[in-house]
Structure 1
Amino acid sequence: MVKSRAACFEGPRKVSLKEIELEPAEDQVLVKTFQASICGTDKLYYFGEVPKEVSLPIFPWGHEGGGFVVKVGSKVREFKEGDIVMSFGPGTFADYFLATAPYGCLQAPEGVDIEVACLGEPLACAVHAAKIASKNVGVGDTVAVVGAGFAGQIILQGLKRGGADLLFAIDKIDFKLDFARRFGADITLNVERDNVVKEILDSTDGCGVDLVVEASGSGDGLNLASEIVRHNGTIVIYSHYMKPFLANLFRWHEDALNIVHACLMHHTREEMVVWAREAFRLVRKNIFNVKPLITKRYSLSEISDAFENEILNRNSIKTAIVP
């Protein structure tokens, strides 16, 4: 039995640390947290976009992270003390967390930096989307990514390696667009400054892009995607939307758009493990450059400040919480 601080999400802009006692059940492992990180969904919850289906409080909170196995349950055979594992959640905003074997966590392979290994869950989701999107890209295709956060940056890297000829990155934060240029975007557009639709139509002979990935998490982002894709083009939806919004489905129908869902989190735990392994394989082959995307770090005791700063200063790609 260990005592651990763990984050409790009580409601919009209310997060606290509470003490919890943890002991692994026969099918669980106890993990000492090395690093957790803030998901885009966590930020939406904190900002007030909590779906009515979600019961509050959420305790323990956090689902991205990893660390060292310090104790294993009596029936666990997949893991041993000392293993470095990444978690599929929940409870990672803590000094320690529990994970259920075999699909609640995954051992990090040799050759993967531990900070990157702790990003296995969001990395798996983004790589899954990148590979789905890349399957829909042909030689000479023009492609856009709406939303240049962590997932958008990974998807952008995958599309660049997958053969996109002209690649647009779209966001409203210049800091994120700077990263997008670093990772292969040919043209970056700021929605608060540029006429995105005109710029893209002018760059594509008035047609629009062949494929657009929506990774902003906003209804505005999806509607923008609908405006910039060509007739018979493809929209790949990565985002997890927290609240209803109006969308122009007339355009989808009249232009026979191909709509592809690419959100891994709604699949099974078994599939999550498969895609985490695939993500790590590609990281080891240097297909994806992940570590530079960790742009801010806070201690667990600073978790409230971390979320508040995500509101006040959005110049971060992936924010880590380190106990």
Structure 2
Amino acid sequence: MAKAAVLHRYGGPLSIEEVDVAAPKRGEVKVKLKAAGLCHSDWHVIDGTLPLPLPIVLGHEGAGIVEEVGEGVTSVKRGDHVVLNWVPACSRCRYCRIGRPDLCEQAARLTSSGTMPDGTTRFSWQGKPVHQFLTAGAFSEYTVVPEQAAIPIRRDVPFELAALIGCSVITGVGAAIHTAQVRPGSTVAVIGAGGVGFNIIQGAALAGAKQIIAVDMIEEKLAMTKTFGATHTVNVEKDDAVDAVLDLTDGLGVDYAFEAIGRPETMADAYNMTRKGGMTVIVGIAAPHETVEINAFSLPSQSKMLTGSWLGQGNPPVDYPKLLDLYAAGKLKLEPLISAVYSLEQINDGFAALKSGQTIRGIIRFDD
């Protein structure tokens, strides 16, 4: 048995339940969670923007200790510290074979099914199956995941910080370094000063961008972006985002614009503040039915590159350890990302703070 936060209905609160957690099957790992981050992706399931089978244990940004391994598992052992990987690549599909595990076909199917690769779940409540978000189900004292979803990490990083690597850090830093491949001396704009946006900013700073413009509507968060490398800020409550960025770049626009909110109108803003021949990277997740309006003539005439970034185009078994090494070397800031720490019982308070826009990242800390 384990205490878990379960979503029973869209729009409703998460309910703390005692759920059964099955033993790991072949190729699976049971993890005792120590910390889990509250992410907008989880909220999108709660409010029904991303409809998934219910009931479901949400949470995908998690870190903990290996409790038990199933038959055939070789990459981790009991006692290892791990960060969960919510895109457990199969290594066999076309995208895995061409070096894009972030686009793994099997992992994409699991995103919508709420199950393990065999189509079943390891959680149950009152004798009925409970789904798990992105194969992770991190809002639970224990979870069972595919071996590929438990990435071993160094032991000297606190779990609260290690958990952040699993989504906000790899997604943000990866979008700047892997997807955009930001060049030294370039100009960057980042729309959205949240968990992912802050990490795009520090990814761009790591890459050597000379001008990094943070765009948001909350002054306190804009002020904090300078801790992560922003050189300028734009408050959209006071100024038009596109006009302000153009003014800061002598009318040219930025080399790279990132959208980290998930709203069609801000995605269009990111495109419109990108210079000719520049790159717009969409990182925020919008509802599946929404569309973005872009001037058709600008597509050929301005020759901008418009692309998306999923998991920061990363490869977790390689990138998680690298990111934690950067943290240990003092080159990646993790502590300032955490705005508040909650118990599992306080999870609804944490999501209320997330929805208000006042937090960068809230963390659930599990009691021993």
The normalised TM-score by structure 2 is: 0.78
- Which of 133, 140, 146 is the equivalent residue of 1:100? 146
- Alpha-carbon distance in 2 for matches of 1:75, 1:241: 38
- Alpha-carbon distance in 1 for matches of 2:189, 2:44: 24
The 8 Å contact of residues 63 and 162 in structure 2, kept in 1 or not, is answered as yes
- Which of 278, 283, 287 is the equivalent residue of 2:327? 283
1:125 aligns with 2:174: no
Q: What's the CA shift string for 1:159-185, capped at 9, x where partnerless?
A: 122121121000122232122122121
The 8 Å contact of residues 35 and 65 in structure 1, kept in 2 or not, is answered as yes
The 8 Å contact of residues 276 and 303 in structure 2, kept in 1 or not, is answered as yes
The 8 Å contact of residues 31 and 142 in structure 2, kept in 1 or not, is answered as yes
Q: Cα offset for 1:223?
A: 1.0
Q: Cα offset for 1:248?
A: 0.8
Q: What amino acid is aligned across from residue 11 of structure 1 in structure 2?
A: Y
Task: State the secondary structure of the residue aligned to 2:14.
Answer: strand
Q: Cα offset for 1:266?
A: 7.9
Farther off after superposition, 10-19 or 88-97: 10-19
- Which of 292, 302, 307 is the equivalent residue of 1:255? 302
- Which of 295, 310, 322 is the equivalent residue of 2:354? 310
- Alpha-carbon distance in 2 for matches of 1:204, 1:131: 22
1:24 aligns with 2:24: yes
The 8 Å contact of residues 261 and 285 in structure 2, kept in 1 or not, is answered as no
The 8 Å contact of residues 12 and 46 in structure 1, kept in 2 or not, is answered as yes
Moved over 3 A (4+): none
The 8 Å contact of residues 176 and 182 in structure 2, kept in 1 or not, is answered as no
What is the match of residue 158 of structure 1? 203
Task: State the secondary structure of the residue aligned to 2:44.
Answer: helix
Q: What amino acid is aligned across from residue 2 of structure 2 in structure 1?
A: S
Task: State the secondary structure of the residue aligned to 2:57.
Answer: coil
What is the aligned residue count?
312
- Which of 303, 311, 324 is the equivalent residue of 1:264? 311
- Which of 282, 305, 309 is the equivalent residue of 1:237? 282
What is the match of residue 299 of structure 1? 343
For structure 2, which runs of at least 5 residues remain unmatched after alignment?
Answer: 86-134
Q: What amino acid is aligned across from residue 193 of structure 2 in structure 1?
A: A
What is the match of residue 49 of structure 1? 49
The 8 Å contact of residues 182 and 207 in structure 2, kept in 1 or not, is answered as no
Pair 1:29–1:285, CA change in 2 (3 A): same
What is the match of residue 6 of structure 1? 4
Task: State the secondary structure of the residue aligned to 2:233.
Answer: strand
Task: State the secondary structure of the residue aligned to 2:56.
Answer: coil
Task: State the secondary structure of the residue aligned to 1:202.
Answer: helix
Farther off after superposition, 25-34 or 289-298: 25-34
The 8 Å contact of residues 125 and 275 in structure 1, kept in 2 or not, is answered as no
What is the match of residue 34 of structure 2? 34
Task: State the secondary structure of the residue aligned to 2:26.
Answer: coil
Within 5 Å, which residues of 2 pair with 1:58-97? Answer: 58-88=55-85, 89-97=135-143
Within 5 Å, which residues of 2 pair with 1:121-200? Answer: 121-122=166-167, 123-132=169-178, 135-139=181-185, 141-200=186-245
- Alpha-carbon distance in 1 for matches of 2:180, 2:277: 17
Pair 1:158–1:246, CA change in 2 (3 A): closer
The 8 Å contact of residues 64 and 83 in structure 2, kept in 1 or not, is answered as yes
Q: Cα offset for 1:134?
A: 5.6
What is the match of residue 159 of structure 2? 114
Task: State the secondary structure of the residue aligned to 1:234.
Answer: strand
Task: State the secondary structure of the residue aligned to 1:305.
Answer: helix
